[in-house]
Amino acid sequence: MTEKQHIMIKGVKEGLVFLLDDKCEFAVLLDELQYKLEKTHQQLLAGPLVHVHVKLGTRQLGDDDKERIKSVIRSQGNLMVQSIESSFAVLDGANAAPTGPHVITGIIRSGQTVEHDGDLLLAGDLNPGGTILCSGDIYVMGALRGVAHAGVNGRTDVIIAASLMRPTQLRIADVISRPPEEWMSGDAAMEFAYLYEGSMQIDKMTQLFRLRNNPIKV
């Protein structure tokens, strides 16, 4: 058998740490574990009792499979398994841990375009002729007078919010706002745009909690 690199064995103050690949098949992992202990790491078996901590990566195992790993390690005499642990997998999309919006400061001027994958907070103004393209929410802590496109990858549950909402154009996913004078309120202060049943709507920022706590059909 050719030695693989699905298993790494590291010495630490408490004993040994076995780092097991979480991508390969479990049966392959067991075979290689046994091979390493019997053929390539005999020096580990010559000394006094050694405590072993097994790290599974993101692999989740039941009690039976954990016992199989313990059995292979215990069979080598001086090795004692102290723990077998898995780490939590980081999931994509809506199940990922929230990290907050990316923050930029300054003024986006005419002819400038800012693109970001995720939520974006601009601490400044978006001038006429300036553009923000974002896959998530857009928050402008200032005047939004240019073009803002949230949900560029197709998300419809995003919003565009601004301290002063006077856009040239707003777009969420593939829905483009009507001319501002047709749908914007009079003062345009502290507002956000969102989609409701496929059309652009606007509301005061104080109502955002209703949208986020009670998602509506878009």
Q: For residue 115, give the nearest of 106, 124, 102, 127 by alpha carbon.
A: 102
The per-residue pLDDT for 210 is 77
Question: pLDDT tens across 90-101, in order?
Answer: 444 444 444 678
Secondary structure (3-state) at 211: helix
Which distant-in-sequence residues (6+ apart) come within 8 Å of 106 by Cβ?
122, 123, 124
Instruction: Quote the crossing angle between the two packed helices 63-74 and 26-35, to the nearest 10°.
Output: 10
Domains within the chain, CATH numbers bracketed: 7-85 (3.30.70), 94-213 (2.160.20.70)
Question: pLDDT tens across 138-184, in order?
Answer: 999 999 999 999 999 999 999 999 999 999 999 999 999 876 665 55
pTM of the full structure: 0.53
